[in-house]
Structure formats: structure tokens, C-alpha cells
Amino acid sequence: MEEAPTSSSTLAFSLGIDVGKARLELALRGEEGAVAQTTVSNCPEEHEQLLSWLRDQGARPEKTCVCMESSGGFEKSVALCLHEEGYRVSVVNPRRIKGYASSQLQRTKTDAADAALIARFGWREDLRAWNPPSGAESRLQELTRARQALKKEKTRAQNRRDEAEDEAVCRAHRGLLDEIERQIENLEEEIEEHIEEHPKLSRPCSLLETIPGIGRQTAAIVRAELGSHERFESARQAAAYAGLVPHHHESGTSVRGRPRMSKVGNGRLRRAMYFPAMTALRFNAAVKAFGNRLRERGKEKMVVVGAAMRKLLHICYGVLKSGRPFDPSLHPGA
């Protein structure tokens, strides 16, 4: 389970890191404000330079919190390095930082300014600590993300093939599609073998597969992206993490926007629930009854599908938390 937030009163420093593919912009602040800033390379071989700089500033692990944005994976190696050194690291959604920047009326947009802002945000907020996934979990995530990327590339290749008029171009795209499909099949075999080799993956995936609509590959994505159910206190938190909670737009008595899916969260997990939800609306009694009720209330098709995605993820969370297979009797009439 993630550690509880630590009060900033126990801290002497807050380190903000603006993460880029090639470099890290660092900003250190203390109780009185900014302390120091510098830039280091973002590669494991150069992380010792970061640690040396922190030691020179007197920013010991027990007195320093570290805050950085989630940056498409570029933050992983530095987060792991600092975590292993004993620093309390928080990896936050970039939208939180953007919202904080707006609240502070920040107009300067540079890497140095962003790092300073992240340091202030880390000092101000009681953020939950990041814990690295295990080696088995990390590899499962890498495998499932590669498969999802190839699935997207397959769709693009199909579209290009369908648009092509020249036969030679069509043949080229068909050849590319064949190769993509072969690579997807290889990855799916790797995913299945990897899951079977690790009980901490195979047990939850087997439980998820008892849910009508959830197959092995979707189960693998849920386990890889959701991680342990202990990260979340409720099914709603898990759904919020995937960006599947409704976003309401209301103001006074005159503004009544239609609720929409928030889409602020893990897009990979959210997209992975779409086709399983479509299947569950037909073959999962709990989700089907839920969808029928929404249709009777006049809800549009995509609203029903979005709600079904959220319902299905709630069920996934419940199965993982209970450690028991899906039980339809627990969802009478959904």
C-alpha cells in the first residue's frame, strides 16, 4: 500500500524536477523559498551527479520530498534512483501541476520556472509516495503497452491500405499488416507465458477472467495498469484513476451541461475497457441490466457504454479486492 502523506512541517527541502527526455531541470526550495537550481542529464549514468548535488545542498533523504510529473516513462529511472536512496518521491498527474500553475497565475513557461513551480507544489501539498513496481509487474506493463501500441499501428495500417488505390501500395500495406499481426501474436504469447511464470500475476489475472467480458489480454492490461488493488481505497478511486468518472458541468440555475467522462487519468486502462464493456453489455448479466436501466432512462449510446466501462472496472476492483471469482449474485439487477 502507498505510504500516507507526510506533513511538510517535518521537511527541510522540497525538490521539484521538470523531466525531459534528455535532461532534468532541478529546483530545490526550503521553508524560506528557493534554495538552488541546476540541470543534469536524464540518464542512469548521470544520476550520481544529481545525488551529489543534493548532498552538497544538505538535502538529506529524511528531510527532503521529491515531486515530479508523470512524463511518459522518462521519469522512471530518476524516480527509482531517488527512491532507492531513501528519498520520498511523488509522481503526479501533469494536470495537477497545470492547475496549480493557473492558480498561481504563472505566465513564465521555461523548464527552470516549471521545476520551481513543481518544488512549490511539492512543498505545499501532502502527496502520496510513489513505490516502484516489481520486476515482474514492470515487464508485464512494458509487454502490454507494446501490444497496445502495435494494435494502434495496425488500425493506422488498415486505414492506409483501405485508402490506397495503387495495387503495389496495397500489397505493401498488406505486407506491413501481416508483420504487425505476427508481432502482436508474439507479444500475446509472451504476455501469457510471463503471467503463468509469476503467481502474483497469474492469480489476479485468473480472477479477472471469471468476469464475463474480460479475457486474458484485458486482464493483463488491468493488472499492469491498475497494479495492486491496495493502491485504492474504493472502486470509485480506481475508476477515477482510469478517467472513467463523470465530469459534471453546472453553474447556478442556467448552466446544465451534459455529464461527460472526465478522461483525466490512465488512458491505456480506459481504452482497454471499451470493447470488453461492449461485450459485457450483451453477455454479463450485471452490466447488461445496468445498461438496460440507463437506456430506459433515455441515455445515449455512448453514455451507456461509458457507464458500462466504469461498472466493469468497479467489478474488476471488487474481484481483486475480495480475492474471489466473480459472483453474479452479488450484483442482482446491477
CA atoms within 13 A of residue 246's CA, in its CB half-sphere: 13
3-state secondary structure of 249: strand
Pairwise CA distance, residues 85 & 226, whole Å = 26
Radius of gyration over every alpha carbon of the chain, rounded to an integer in angstroms: 23
Q: How many CB atoms lie within 10 A of CB 199?
A: 10
DSSP per residue, 52-70: HHHHHTT--GGGEEEEEE-
- What backbone phi and psi angles, to 5 degrees, belong to 236? -65, -40
User: Quick one: cell of 267?
Assistant: 488512458
* pLDDT at residue 163, rounded to an integer: 93
10-residue mean pLDDT series, the chain (334 residues): 46 93 93 88 90 94 93 87 95 84 78 92 90 91 96 95 93 95 98 96 97 97 90 88 70 49 77 96 94 94 95 96 91 62
* Closest to 273 in 3D by CA, of 213, 212, 333: 213
3-state secondary structure of 34: strand
Looking up cell 535532461 gives 23
Sign of CA dihedral 115, 118, 122, 123: positive
1, amino acid identity: M
Looking up cell 481504452 gives 271
* pLDDT at residue 72, rounded to an integer: 73
3-state secondary structure of 296: helix
* pLDDT at residue 255, rounded to an integer: 43
Pairwise CA distance, residues 99 & 179, whole Å = 43
Question: In angstroms, how far is CA 232 from the centroid of its own chain?
Answer: 13
* Alpha-helix residue ranges (DSSP H) falling in 110-166: 111-124, 135-163
Homologous superfamily assigned to 8-124: ATPase, nucleotide binding domain (3.30.420.40)
3-state secondary structure of 231: helix
**Strand pairing category for 13-19 and 88-92:** unpaired
- What backbone phi and psi angles, to 5 degrees, belong to 250? -135, 145
Which uninterrupted H or E stretch holds 213? none
Which uninterrupted H or E stretch holds 170? helix 167-197
pTM for the whole structure? 0.77
For the chain, the domains span 8-124, 135-197, 222-330
**DSSP designation for 230:** G
- What backbone phi and psi angles, to 5 degrees, belong to 24? -120, 125
Pairwise CA distance, residues 209 & 57, whole Å = 51
